[in-house]
Amino acid sequence: MPPSVKFAVIPVAGLGTRFLPATKAVPKEMLPIVDKPTLQYIVEEAFSAGIEHIVLIQGRYKGCIEDHFDTSYELEDTLEKRNKTADLEMVRKIARLGPITSIRQKAPLGLGHAVLCARPIIGDAPFAVLLGDDLYRTEANKRSGIGQLIDAFEATGKGQIALMQVPLSEIHKYGAAEGKVDDKNERLFHISDLVEKPPKGTEKTDRAVVGRYVLPPRVWGLLEATKVGKGGEIQLTDALDALQKEQGLMGVTVDGKRVDAGDKLGFLEANLREALSRTDLKSGTVTLMQELLAELK
Ligand code: UTP
């Protein structure tokens, strides 16, 4: 049985250019989905799956992310004096979610480079990777997105990546995985080739790599050896293709809904879905959506 997965890396050092000007001084991972930063949903997903230590790969806005997950003495003191008990408890809970270490990626040289920055902390252990702008909504009684990949890793001993089927015309925006579906479990996929953003006209698969990974420590050496690839960045996909050739790699179609909150429409969708899932906001949101649709007619 492979060792259990206790570490998670969450890279949040990208430039977030798709969200300028909002991301000029605020990381896109701190933009709120209703009233909670995107990153907090992801940190909660990791800890709820049994992760014991999160390594955040930070860029130029280190301060506000660290502050968010830290104790906030002044705020707590004020809420206490004003008897705002529920708010106080909610704020305190964030600082108690679990241990989070942050490392600085000194330049945004790509996702592969960002993940490699966590090596000195994680060392010779398997680890999860959760992209800081990809959200997974799973049913309350079900295992979280990354939890499903951890289970597949612990059952097979092989590296796991989350996959999603997209229209073939869209695959050029993603890492693309070729291979075949497992005979016994249609959610599992045996990968035979991985390509980062295949150019239009060369598409061979509709399975896109989306935001969650569980990887063995062998990937560190492969990342060290990975040369600059697509977009002038060190691509995680290239190291994972090498891993696949050496020791196999599997894909998991997560049972849940994935939303790319790093994309403008995805961000709006994530906000609407979250609002519709809250008892205090659902009917107001439905009314608002109906009014807006009627205005369009
Ligand atoms: P993205 O490609 O979605 O992020 O990377 P980006 O580069 O910030 O986005 P745009 O395209 O300019 O809008 C996926 C994740 O990897 C992180 C990002 O912060 C994001 O959470 N990342 C990316 C890093 O930490 N370092 C990098 O060098 C690149």
The confidence score (pLDDT) of residue 140 equals 84
pTM: 0.95
Beta strand pairing call for 7-12 and 127-130:
parallel
Closest residue to atom 15 of ligand 1, CA basis: 131
The confidence score (pLDDT) of residue 69 equals 96
What contacts 155, CB < 8 A, 6 or more positions away? none
CA dist., res. 60 & res. 78, Å (int): 30
Instruction: Kindly state if the Cβ of 232 falls inside 6 Å of ligand 1.
Output: no
User: Which of the listed residues 57, 113, 131, 196 should we mutate to test ligand 1's pocket, taking the one with most ligand atoms within 8 A of CB?
Assistant: 131
As given in the structure block, the two tokens for residue 128 are 């999860």
Count other C-beta atoms under 10 Å from residue 209's C-beta: 23
- pLDDT of 282 over the 90 cut: yes
The confidence score (pLDDT) of residue 103 equals 95
**pLDDT band with cut points at 50, 70 and 90 for residue 231:** confident
Helix, strand, or coil here: 82?
A: coil
Instruction: Average the pLDDT over 41-47 and give the result.
Output: 97
Name which of 48-57, 82-91, 135-144 the model is least confident about.
135-144
Q: Could you tell me if residue 197 is left (phi over 0), alpha (psi between -120 and 50 degrees) or otherwise beta? A: left
CA dist., res. 266 & res. 174, Å (int): 15
Q: Which residues of 27-52 are buried (b: 16+ CB within 10 A; e: fewer)?
A: bbbbbebeeebbbbbbbbbbbebbbe
57 C-alpha to ligand 1 centroid (Å): 11
Instruction: Kindly state if the Cβ of 108 falls inside 6 Å of ligand 1.
Output: yes
Mean pLDDT of the chain: 95
Q: Which domains does the chain have, with CATH numbers?
A: 7-262 (3.90.550.10), 263-297 (no CATH)
Beta strand pairing call for 134-137 and 257-260:
antiparallel
Q: What is the pLDDT of residues 1-10, one digit of tens each?
A: 777 899 999 9
Instruction: Average the pLDDT over 86-91 and give the result.
Output: 96
- pLDDT of 61 over the 80 cut: no
Q: What is the pLDDT of residues 125-176, one digit of tens each?
A: 999 999 999 999 998 889 999 999 999 999 999 999 999 999 999 999 999 9
